[in-house]
Every structure is written in C-alpha cells, then in structure tokens.
Copies of this chain bind each other. A is one copy, B any other.
C-alpha cells in the first residue's frame, strides 16, 4: 500500500509510532500495536529501505485521512512531509521468537538475549511483549550465563565510560528509609584517593533517592562530557544516573517491571551491573539490606542473592563485595530529601553529632572499599573510614564535590530549607520502643510531599531500644503545604504512628 506522509508535531517518546487511518489499517489487516514495514519509495538512502514501525489508528480523517500516514516528529526523522511511502504488514521480530522461548521455559543464549535487548532499545517490542518476557523471567528465572549476557547487552545499549583501570562504587538494593550513606561514603573514599563516579537514582516508591537528597546540596543533572570533567577534577561525584545514557535498555525493562511490581533477581542483577559497567566501575561494594520491607526478607535470602551477584560480577570483570545490613528501622533519624542532606552534612562537619547508625553503616561500607582499594589492610578499613570522617577531610572533599557540581560549598545545615509547615508528636505513655514501622514512615513521608517536595519529610526522634517517658518528643513531620501536612498527620493519628512502644512489664503471672 502506498501512502503519503503527514508529519505530526508531537513527540511520543516511541520513535517507531506511526498513525494509519482506520480504513487503511483495516485493509492492511492491522490493529493498534501491530508492526508494519515502511519505506520511502522515492529514496535511495536509508529511508528507501524497509524499516519497522508500530501502528496507531486514527478514527478521524481530519488527523490522518485514508491514503495518508502520520509520522510523529521523532518517528523516522529522515522521511519528509508529503513523501510517498510503501507500507506492508511486518512479521514479529526474531526477538519475539526468543521471548516465546523463555515463556516456555527454555534457556536463552547470548545471541538471543542481545537480539531482545537491541529490539527493546529500538522500540520494536511492544509493552505487551515486554511484559510477557518479564513475567516469564519472573516465573522461570535466569541462570548465571543468561544474567551475564543480559548485563553485557544492557551495558552495550548505551554509553560506556572509561575512568581508568581502578574505579570504585557503592550500590544498595534498597528498602530501608533514610539510607543517605552514599553522601558519606563518596567523600570518605574519594578523600583516600579512590575514584568513585557515583550515579544514583531518584526515588520511585520511596520518600527520597540519593539523587534527590544530593540535589538539595548541588545540581545532579549532567551530561556525559560534564561527568567526565567532574571526575577528572575531583575523582568523585554524586549525580543522577537518569540524565546519562547508561544502559538505556535496562530502563525500558524497568518501565514495565515497575507497574507489575516485579523485580526478579534475573533482571535485578543485570540492571545493577550493567550500569556499573557503563560507569567504568571495576570494584564495587553492594549494600544488601535484609528484613521485612526489603527485597530480602531473611538474611538467607540476602546471602543467596549475594553469592549469585558476586558470580555474575566476576563474569563481567567486576570485583564485588556484598554486605548484608540491618533494615529494621531508618538509618539515622531523617527521611526526605532535605532532611537527609542536612543529616549527612551535619555528620560530615561534626563527627560527634552522629547519628551512630549512619556513622556505622557508612564507614562499614566505605571501609570495605578502602580495603578493596589497598588503602587499608583487611579488617581495618572501617577504622580508616572513621578517621577520615572524624578528621573533617571527608567534609572538605564533599565541599569540593558540591562546588564542582555547581552547588554552594559553604552551605550550613541550618540553611537547608525544611517544611515550612511542621508538626511534632509526643509519646502518650512511657516505655521501651520495641519497633519502628518502616512502611508507615515511608507512607507518612510521601503523604507529606516526598520526594517531589524536597523540604518535606519526617524525623524519627526516638528509635528502637530507646526508653521514653510520657510526653517525650518522638516524631516530626515537615511539609511544604498545610494540606499535605494534615494528610500526613491523619495517617500518623489513625495508625498510632510508626513508633511501637512496648510496656515495661515482661510477664504478668
């Protein structure tokens, strides 16, 4: 079928979308989401070859009349308005055959995995097909060879940085609130002379990601050249990975995993490691929080994951150490972008300010990196990390990182904007705190506006193990708006709050 191109001034994000009039679509036997082949009949260049596009259907001739085909501004850019194209139905790509192979439970070889990854990257696979692929991985799993191949294929889908033979990083599998340890670890290990080009994520389902917290102190959005310049100057950064073209194929899968609430190991490990390869990382410490609410309910789950992770990392030439960490309550007291930045900055400036849980976890992980990098003997990495932190040198490094990323290096913790609306909660009886409900903390922080409102968040004043008396301050909520503060308060009051108090009595006989 020959059709005349009508350029449409929209960007759809999918560079394969074209629009057919419903009559032409019927004649071609096409439904929305089907694939067609399209070529410019008058061109001798690339546009004169058949390429694949995905069909949308216009039911009004005023958008696309019979005989026309709509191309969005980001679809097949080399084909111009009024060009005559030839269009025919397309067979599903080979990659879909391989997806079907996974669906029936067979192992994929690396060529098949490459094919699926490159088809996803170029928009050839629909979200329905990708959902089926991810579901089958969720059910059947992926073996080590498959994960290794997927990691490499995802990394190759984007830019791969080269910061030399000795590049370090830290990553967390997530699930614990207030986990601002990267803001301590990066300046500590950079102070010791290790290169650490930290890319981090924004919060998706949590109140704050490291990128959200760092952004309170300095910009985090940089392109590839800017990141290279930052690392050449300061050896370290804390930037948002989403602004870089690293492992874009992984992002395409994540976009489907997220609404499915799926994060199978077979995709999680390649996702983490592909981005590390992309950043040129050679040695990595992986923080694996374990416990309810994390991806690993029991230490054993975490341990099994760690073994597989180390194996795949080794296969791709990355040396990885894993640390199982406690996740039963927040790290430190602060949850929310500004509050977390403030807590980290306070600790960097004054070791004695604590909090202890943040010091311990950050220096534990930083210590492992220092040992891996030969800066400390086995067993004394944490000691060195604490010394660097206590000395104020990590703070000096952080100021340089903030400055090179375009922030105000001399910012003081008290200058970080919070709230402005705030509500304090006091204990209505005395006792021992026997537990802290992380899920409820996240819920309240998000109701207060996190992570989109950076100045919103919560402070968990008293944590597990503390003994409190009636009337003690236990919790604070900050919010940018009165209405969101009310919403967050309502959750606190209706649930009794995230701080669980046990009586003093052990047994009544």
Contact = CB atoms under 8 A, between A and B. Distances in A.
Contacts of A13: 31-33, 57, 59
Interface stretch (A122-130, A148-156, A172-180, A295-303): A122-130
B259 A34 contact: yes
Contact of A132 (B32, B62, B134, B452): B134
A428 interface: no
B127 A128 contact: yes
A255 B255 CA distance: 21
Interface string A9-22: 11111000001001
Interface string A134-176: 1110111000000000000000000000000000000000000
A430 to B, nearest CB: 36
A258 interface: yes
Q: Work out how many copies of this chain go into the complex.
A: 2
A378 interface: no
B31 A126 contact: no
Nearest to A453: B27
Contacts of A96: 261
A10 B259 contact: no
A256 B105 contact: no
B59 A32 contact: no
A132 B10 contact: no
Interface string A90-111: 0010001000100111000000
Nearest to A204: B31
Given A27-B452, A255-B32, A9 B63 contact: yes
A58 interface: yes
B58 A10 contact: yes
Interface centre among A11, A131, A256, A262 (most CB of B within 10 A): A131
Contacts of A453: 27
Nearest to A205: B29
Nearest to A70: B10
A46 interface: no
Contacts of A493: none
A411 interface: no
Contacts of A134: 132
Interface in A249-267: 255-256, 258-262
Interface centre among A22, A32, A134 (most CB of B within 10 A): A32
A128 B9 contact: no
A23 to B, nearest CB: 9
Interface string A351-371: 000000000000000000000
A466 interface: no
B10 A60 contact: yes
B100 A261 contact: yes
Contact of A128 (B10, B26, B57, B131): B131
A446 interface: yes
A259 B129 contact: yes
A134 B33 CA distance: 15
Nearest to A10: B63
A22 B9 CA distance: 13
Contacts of A255: 31-33
A103 B138 contact: yes
A56 interface: yes
A152 to B, nearest CB: 25
Interface in A239-292: 255-256, 258-262
Given A13-B59, A32-B11, A26 B452 contact: yes
A221 interface: no
Q: Which 5 A-B pairs have the closest CB atoms?
A: A131-B131, A33-B259, A135-B135, A132-B135, A128-B131
22 contacts: A9-B58, A10-B57, A10-B58, A10-B60, A11-B58, A11-B63, A12-B32, A13-B32, A27-B452, A27-B453, A31-B255, A33-B255, A59-B73, A104-B139, A127-B127, A127-B128, A128-B128, A128-B260, A132-B132, A132-B134, A132-B262, A135-B136
Interface of A: 9-13, 19, 22, 26-27, 29, 31-34, 56-60, 62-63, 73, 92, 96, 100, 103-105, 126-132, 134-136, 138-140, 204, 255-256, 258-262, 446, 452-453
Given A10-B60, A12-B32, A31-B259, 9 more contacts: A9-B63, A11-B32, A29-B446, A33-B255, A33-B256, A92-B261, A96-B261, A132-B134, A135-B135
